Amino acid sequence: MCGIVGYIGHRDAFPILIKGLKRLEYRGYDSAGVALLNGSLEIYKKQGKVSALEESIEGSPLKTTVGMGHTRWATHGEPNDTNAHPHYSHSTDYAIIHNGIIENYGSLKKELGKKGYKFRSDTDTEVLITFIEDIINEYDCSLEEGVRIALSKVVGAYAIVVMSTKDETKLVAARKGSPLVIGVGQGEYFLASDATPIIEYTNEVVYLNDEEVAVLTREGLEIKDFEALSQTPYIHTLDLALESIEKSGYEHFMLKEIFEQPNSIADCMRGRLKAADGHLVLGGIRDYTNALINAEKIIFVACGTSWHSCLVAEYIIEELCRIPVEVEYASEFRYRNPIINEGDIVFAVSQSGETADTLAAMELAKSKGAILFGIVNVVGSSIARTSHEGAYLHAGPEIGVASTKAFTAQLVVLTMIALKMSHLRGTIAERRYHEMLVDLERIPDKVATVLKQAKKVEEIAYIFKEAHNFLYLGRGLNFPVALEGALKLKEISYIHAEGYPAAEMKHGPIALIDENMPVVVIATRDKSYDKIVSNIQEVKARKGKVIAVVTEGDALIPKMADYIIEVPDTKDAFMPMVSVIPLQLLSYYIAVMRGCNVDQPRNLAKSVTVE
């Protein structure tokens, strides 16, 4: 987590840095700071959001055309003014911003302490910049050389930017495990954790690779690896519109992203699916078609919401392709000794493409000879680049911390892959395959239909806004939807919520049910319909309040449930794409009514780039 931004060129640096930090605030918002260099190296930093930093600056900040900024999600040291970035080195001649963790900072701090260095903060970051300063003093070398030598002795994952009063003409940046994008302008360069602060100025970017050090001056960009070998920067042209990273009239990014889903799902299918012609092509997986045909096992690794979409994929792939599927929390997978054989297929699913646990699970699988498919939203992200093959979600930037449109796009991409695989493997009848393509193509319209009920969901939210607990129940493909609904509510409204397979309720959670317990039941008409009707009766018998998501035209459940939300009918495999929408809306409205910061919930960050 943490957002990094840097600028060197001919424009006033401060407004560029502040605007960039606001765009990156979704990555962390415990504190913010900027460093500006012009004759002196001035640091301004403050606990809280970027707006608090702006308010705290008295008078005008140092006028300059070179600077860097940081928005923090705390790892080492509590979030306060002192621990906020940037950090000075011991002498204050150097300053650093850092995203990630320096694992061996304790031993480095001890060694530097013995040499007489003193520290102002509790952070690993201050240790790193002081270590860099110590190396520059010892080797009498340039800033970039000092950074390179220091990083070769450091253990951890990081993206850093460093500047110094000793040479005001440059910014030095480096990365290992945390993203860093360089924007290439005319006589100016930008640096950021993702492209959103850059796109306003240039769409030409260079993605810094792991173990590379970049030197940015007004005259040019030079990149070397940690062995000091020069690297040729590859310039990508980004296809990212400015409007896609703005709220466009919506009160929150989350609401905008919920309402974007008919379009984001259509974008995700565009060029890949044309049901009338029986066309289903995913360019990114074409080269590994044989591996998919011959696969004996598929493993999914992911975290959070992305993990929920993998659970849905498990049901669909097992049903359509008859291949055993394992869905693993990436953070658990890497710490056991999982059985992975040469040629096994591992899908890594991630919105950000930067989740540290997922990346580490991929590295482990790669070392055992697995074929890695990345299903990722952020183009050029670390997971995308670590994968052998994969497919982008094309959902557009997702800025709200609570994932919504990325989830439905993941479902669409994974379903398209399942359909393609089943067709290639001959495990699906031709007629069923075509019917499914036709129905899949209709999903954007069905999602739009659900969104028309936003008002009704808002009214239900009003009734339950003060609840202390929620239970979410679903069966089959709607069980992961129950998990996702509960996660959405927890993370943005801070109401305790649990998702359960409806039949498991009687093995424990049923004890929680009384007249104060709202129970959201995803009870669309599928093969477990009769069973879930019984589960609703069990809840009602204990006076629980049932909010049921049902298929349009259902005549039975409305008689039992306290509140119902109808969704259009679709094939069972696609129902999660539709049934999750009211749950996203419900959590959004409840959180707003409780006065929560929906886009930036407490303690969370959009991409979790630390273990």
Q: How far is the CB of 518 from ligand M6R (least distance, A)?
A: 20
Is the CB of 161 or the CB of 598 nearer to ligand M6R? Answer: 598
The one segment of 62-70, 256-264, 346-354, 499-507 that binds ligand M6R by CB under 6 A: 346-354
Residue found under tokens 């193509």: 441
Which residue from 91, 31, 29, 95 is spatially nearest to 62, judged by alpha carbons?
95
Shortest separation between residue 537's beta carbon and ligand M6R, angstroms? 32
Q: What are residue 468's phi and psi, to 5 degrees? A: -95, -20
Distance CA 426, CA 439 (A): 20
Q: Total residues contacting ligand M6R (rule CB under 6 A)?
A: 17
Chain Cα centroid distance, residue 388 = 20
Return the residue of 95, 127, 199, 303 that touches ligand M6R, per CB under 6 A: 303
Structure tokens at 252: 């929150």
Site mask for ligand M6R (CB under 6 A), range 157-196, x = bound: ----------------------------------------
Instruction: Please identify, among the stretches 83-91, 217-225, 345-353, 501-509, the one whose residues bind ligand M6R according to the rule CB under 6 A.
Output: 345-353
Q: 195, 117 in Cβ contact below 8 A?
A: no
* Options 2, 34, 591, 608; binder of ligand M6R; rule CB under 6 A: 608
**SS (HEC) of 333-380:** HCCCCCCCCCCCEEEEEECCCCCHHHHHHHHHHHHCCCEEEEEECCCC
Residue pair 238/201 in contact by the 8 Å Cβ criterion: no
Separation CA 162–CA 175 (nearest Å)? 12
| Residue 382 interacts with ligand M6R (CB under 6 A): yes or no | no
Q: Is residue 497 close enough to count as binding ligand M6R by CB under 6 A?
A: no
User: Considering the complex, what minimum distance in angstroms separates the CB of residue 138 from ligand M6R?
Assistant: 40
Catalytic entry in 2, 310, 321, 596: 2
542-569 CB burial, b ≥16 within 10 A, e <16: eebbbbbbbbeebeebeebbebbbbbbb
For residue 373, list its beta bridge partners.
347, 389
Parallel, antiparallel, or unpaired: how do β-strands 325-329 and 298-302 relate? parallel
- Tell how strand 545-551 and strand 563-567 pair up: parallel
Nearest distance in Å: CB 351, ligand M6R: 4
Q: Name the minimum Å distance from CB 304 to ligand M6R.
A: 2
Applying CB under 6 A, the span of 64-72, 188-196, 302-310, 461-469 interacting with ligand M6R comes to 302-310
Say whether residue 350 binds ligand M6R (CB under 6 A).
yes
Minimum separation from the CB atom of position 445 to ligand M6R (A): 25
The answer to whether 351 contacts ligand M6R (rule: CB under 6 A) is: yes
Judged by CB under 6 A, does residue 305 bind ligand M6R?
yes
Single out the residue of 314, 491, 566, 599 in contact with ligand M6R (rule: CB under 6 A).
491
Question: Within 13 A of 127's CA, how many CA atoms are on the CB side?
Answer: 22
* Cβ atoms 282, 420 nearer than 8 A: yes
| Annotated active-site residue in 22, 45, 490, 606 | 606
Q: Does 71 bind ligand M6R (CB under 6 A)?
A: no
Determine, following the binding rule CB under 6 A, whether residue 585 of this chain makes contact with ligand M6R. no
Residues paired with residue 325 on neighbouring β-strands, in sequence order:
298
Task: Read off φ and ψ for residue 503, nearest 5 degrees.
Answer: -75, -20
Exactly one of 75, 89, 358, 524 binds ligand M6R (CB under 6 A); that residue is 358
306 binds ligand M6R (CB under 6 A): yes
Query: Catalytic: 268?
Result: no
Q: Which stretch binds ligand M6R (CB under 6 A): 58-66, 147-155, 347-355, 363-371?
A: 347-355
Q: Which residue is nearest to ligand M6R (CB)?
A: 304
179/518 with CB nearer ligand M6R? 179
Does 403 participate in binding ligand M6R (rule CB under 6 A)? yes
Strand 204-207 and strand 236-237: pairing?
Answer: antiparallel
Q: Which is nearer to ligand M6R, 405 or 420 (CB)?
A: 405
Q: Is there binding between residue 422 and ligand M6R (CB under 6 A)?
A: no
Q: Which of 31, 121, 130, 355 binds ligand M6R (CB under 6 A)?
A: 355
Strand partners, 172: 162, 215
Residue 590 has phi, psi (to 5 degrees) of -60, -45
- Rounded CA gap, 444 and 577, in Å? 9
DSSP-derived pairing of the beta strands 298-302 and 345-350: parallel
Q: What is the DSSP letter of 291?
A: H
Respond yes or no: is residue 274 known to be catalytic.
no
Place of tokens 């999660």: 576
Q: Which of 154, 163, 402, 521 binds ligand M6R (CB under 6 A)?
A: 402
Q: Which is nearer to ligand M6R, 327 or 401 (CB)?
A: 401
Residue 591 binds ligand M6R, judged by CB under 6 A:
no
Q: Is 401 one of the binding residues for ligand M6R (CB under 6 A)?
A: yes
Where do the H-state alpha helices sit in 98-189? Answer: 105-114, 124-139, 143-152
Active site residues: 2, 606
Query: In the complex, which residues of this chain contact ligand M6R (CB under 6 A)?
Result: 303-306, 350-352, 355, 358, 401-403, 487, 491, 604, 607-608
